[in-house]
Amino acid sequence: MTTPAPTSAHRPTGTGGGRLLVAVYGVLALAATARGLYQVGTKLDEAPVAYVLSLVAGIVYLVATYALARDRRALAWAAVGFELLGVLTVGTLSMVDVGDFPDETVWSQLGAGYGYVPLVLPFVGLWWLRRTGRAPVVDTPPADAPPAVG
C-alpha cells in the first residue's frame, strides 16, 4: 500500500496566480516609492503630510511585494492589512478635508490617481492570503480502512 505524499499546510503565495499579484504589487511599489522619494526630496515643504504618506505607501507596497513573493505570510498579512487601513483612512480623509491634502498621495481619493488599484489591491491580497493559507484536500482513507489490493 502506498501512502499519499505529505502536503504542506498551505500553498506558497508567490506561485500560480500569486505571480500576477506580486507583479502588480511590484509595479505599484516602484511607482509609489519613486513618487514619494521625489516629492519628499524636492518639495516636502509644500505638502508634508501628503508627501510623507506617499513614501509610506511606497514602502508598504515594497514590503508587501517582498512578503508575497517570498511566502512570508505573517509579514504579508501585516503589510496588506496596513495597506487596506491606509487607503481607506487617507482616501476618506482626502475627500472630507481637502486642506490636509493639497496634493495627491497614492491613497488620495481612494487611489483614484492610480485607477483605484490601491483600493482594490488589498482586498485581492487578503483574499489571496486566505485562499493560499488553506491546506490542499488530500483523499486519504480512514485509519480503519482495509489496505488497498492491487
Burial of 37 (0-12, 13-18, 19+ CB in 10 A): middle
Whether residue 16 has pLDDT greater than 90: no
Residue 136, CA atoms < 13 Å, CB-side half-sphere: 10
User: Which pLDDT score, from 0 to 100, does residue 139 have?
Assistant: 57
Contacts 24+ apart (CB under 8 A), 136-141: 136/7, 136/11, 138/4, 138/7, 139/4, 140/4
pLDDT in tens, 76-133: 999 999 999 999 999 999 888 777 777 888 899 999 989 999 999 999 999 999 999 8
Whether residue 5 has pLDDT greater than 50: no
The span from the first CA to the last CA of the chain, in angstroms, equals 8
User: Which pLDDT score, from 0 to 100, does residue 103 have?
Assistant: 80
User: Which pLDDT score, from 0 to 100, does residue 3 have?
Assistant: 46
> Domain range for residue 37?
18-131
Q: Is residue 140 part of a domain?
A: no
In total, how many domains does the chain have?
1
Q: Is residue 136 part of a domain?
A: no
Single pTM value for the model: 0.81
